[in-house]
Chains A and B, each alone.
Chain A
Amino acid sequence: MIVKAVLSALQFRKVLPHAERTLEISLPDNSTVKYVVQKLSEKVGIDIEELLKSKKVVIILKNRVLEYEEEADHKLSEGESLIFINPLIGG
């Protein structure tokens, strides 16, 4: 299956140009959020799990913030989008 990851959080600025921060990832069926996070970490060379655990970054999945510590084993479905953002206010 294919899921989309949008790496919008500013921590990704140092490792990927903006145009390359929206990724389509091919995964085995029933892959978990944790698996995607590991794959992405390997790809971009950042410990994304640490960013999620420290809440410097959060994932928006299906229009809500995913509680990573509790929902890392959540199984993804074809076509879903994970948006990685900084949980910060802006104006």
Chain B
Amino acid sequence: MRGYHGKVLEVDLTTKNFKEVEISERLLEAFVGGCGLGAALLYKRLNADLDPYSPEAPLAFVTGAFTGFSPFSGRHAVCGKSPLTGLWGESTVGGFFGVELKRFGVDALIITGKASKPTYLVLREGKVEFRDADHLWGKSVSETAEKVKEETDKKARVMCIGPAGERLVRFASVMDENHRAAGRTGMGAVMGSKNLKAIAVIGQKGLPEVADPNRVKELYSQCLEKINANPGKELWHTYGTLMYTTQGYELGDTPAKYFQEGVFPAFKISGEALIENYEVENEGCALCPVICGHRIRGVKMEYESVGSLGSTLGIYDLDYILDLTHICNEMGMDSISAGVSLGFTMYLSEKGVIKDGIQWGDGKRAIEVLRSVAFREGLGDLIAEGTLRMAQRLGIDHEEAACVKGLEIPMHDPRAFSMQALCYATGVRGACHMRSDYFTVDIAAAPIPEIGVVPTDRFEESEEKVRMMVNHQNAKEVWNSGVICMLGIFDINDLCAFYSAITGKEVKPQDIVALGEKSFMLKRMLNLKLGMSKEHEKLPQVILRPLKRGGTGGFVPDLQKTLKIYYSIRQIGEDGYPTQDKLSQIDIEDLIR
């Protein structure tokens, strides 16, 4: 199929063997790439008994149909079994590695086995070198990436882990050389369990052929014109994703004090405050015409980090937040799970459950403890397990852990948007704001009217609203498979036009929904196989208490109601499985046998 090499590179760290294996047309056509293709490639290798830290556990880096061809396609997916949730783990990440991996001549890289000692891989000229990484073990992300480039090629693109991945912190990330993070679900710990410190890729083969190169070129130019005319471009470039902080606050979307407060000094941690008080360097990913990345005194900063390491902890001093983010970036930890787990620690410290813990707003102590998380020292060893296991170990009701299926809730409060709550409950990787980011629909940031997804009352819980959410959840699977940035300018018409020109397969917006549904259902089947049940599809009580003050207006989502509608629309039975009719209709039966 055009747009792909049709190959996966399989690397066994135990035997130091590697080989290229063909990917069937069937999979490429059905799953677009990225997270969807990753699930299809790994489906039969994952089961409930598999220890995600065992040598047999696979770790996949997967590009998509769009990678290297369209604007916003400088992303790839990192997938496997999550050590944090025990379920399907996936994370997409920006930067340059994905495009370079595709230029190397494969669509995906699957790593199994375990190196006998710290190792890094060099992918160059169709070959894989297994290099000693003893001297890199314990090094930060920046130090590792710099050294690997120095030892291989300045043009190499590097993904690596920091000390947190080495020590199997359950929310360790796989980091890009410029601190873009494949953060969620702990893929960095899987990499660490394999004694794999880094991967460097030098792509010399080039990108695969596309069906209509002239059309791709034409679409690219048109897309750039559209992006340049979009007022969001300048705002994102100037303020970064932090531009959302004050807006999120007004709507009650930005959480504070472990989701227990609705009123706080949001402006102090806003994009405006940042650019007024610091010098900002802009930084973008491959093929990005917006360049939203912000680096402040060396620290890559995003809205999610400001929320999780700032307001969630009652910290409103940007200097502390920068320092905390720096630790996550350099030690290789997901800032969302790290922040929420620190917030849980503060919450339990206030209740007297944790002695010598951390008090709300104590940035200095938070820095000290977060560092200890990366090295699993003292209190840090407990926090490194994530909120659900923390609750289990401390004998606390798991309803107090702000997570869904073990994945910590991100910085979009489910009490601010009814459908975001439903997304968290049913998300393929747990509480995830990117699968789907439904809040963007109800603020008119990224509705998809072509598939009937339009802004309505943000608290509405009607059947029609749930139907929109299902369509949105399906469609966003394709963004995450493409792998396309979700910033919002690249719309479903762009998606269809580029997909058709790249692959030669004509698609319309409704086909995108159908493609996404295959991906969603395959991952659901995979999660059921790994032990998920409908009982896991809920929000914890800690996040279902009405906030007396702030932008949520005291709203609490009625998940019992919306889930019932959701299962009916998705044709999911009492046992949590899609009906046979649904499986036949979406044509994935052969893949799940």
Contacts and interface: CB of A to CB of B under 8 A. Distances in A.
Interface of A: 6, 8-10, 13, 18-19, 54-56, 58, 60, 62-65, 83, 85-91
B288 interface: no
B455 A65 contact: yes
A41 to B, nearest CB: 18
Assign chain B's interface to a size class: 35 or more
B272 A91 contact: no
Contact of A86 (B243, B303, B456): B243
A90 B87 CA distance: 27
Contact of A64 (B270, B307, B458): B458
B241 A90 contact: yes
Contact of A91 (B232, B270, B303): B303
B461 interface: no
B443 A85 contact: yes
Contacts of A8: 246-247, 250
Nearest to B272: A13
A58 B302 contact: no
A6 B250 contact: yes
| Nearest 6 A/B pairs, CB to CB | A90-B244, A91-B303, A91-B241, A87-B444, A64-B457, A65-B455
Contacts of A62: 457
Contacts of B307: 91
B272 A55 contact: no
Given A60-B251, A88-B236, 17 more contacts: A8-B247, A10-B235, A10-B272, A13-B272, A18-B246, A58-B444, A63-B459, A65-B455, A83-B250, A83-B251, A88-B243, A89-B440, A89-B486, A90-B242, A90-B245, A90-B247, A91-B241
Nearest to B245: A90
Contacts of A10: 235, 239, 243, 271-272
Given A86-B247, A87-B444, A91-B302, A64 B488 contact: no
A13 B234 CA distance: 14
B445 interface: yes
B402 to A, nearest CB: 18
Contacts of B250: 6, 8, 83, 85
A9 to B, nearest CB: 8
Nearest to B440: A89
B385 interface: no
Interface string B216-256: 00000000000000011001100101111111101100000
Interface string B463-501: 000000000000000000000001110000000000000
Contacts of B245: 90
Contact of B244 (A65, A83, A89): A89
Contacts of B243: 10, 86, 88, 90
Contacts of B242: 90-91
Given A6-B250, A8-B247, A62-B457, A86 B302 contact: no
Contacts of A13: 272
19 contacts: A8-B246, A8-B250, A10-B239, A13-B272, A58-B443, A62-B457, A63-B457, A64-B455, A85-B247, A88-B235, A88-B243, A89-B445, A89-B446, A90-B242, A90-B248, A90-B303, A91-B302, A91-B303, A91-B307
Contact of A89 (B272, B487, B553): B487
A87 B443 CA distance: 6
Contacts of A90: 241-245, 247-248, 303
Contacts of B446: 89
B460 to A, nearest CB: 8
Contacts of B231: 54, 56, 86
Interface string B435-455: 001001011111000000001
Contact of B232 (A6, A18, A58, A88): A88
A43 B245 CA distance: 25
Nearest to A64: B457
Given A89-B488, A91-B302, A60 B443 contact: yes
Contacts of B455: 64-65
A6 B248 CA distance: 12
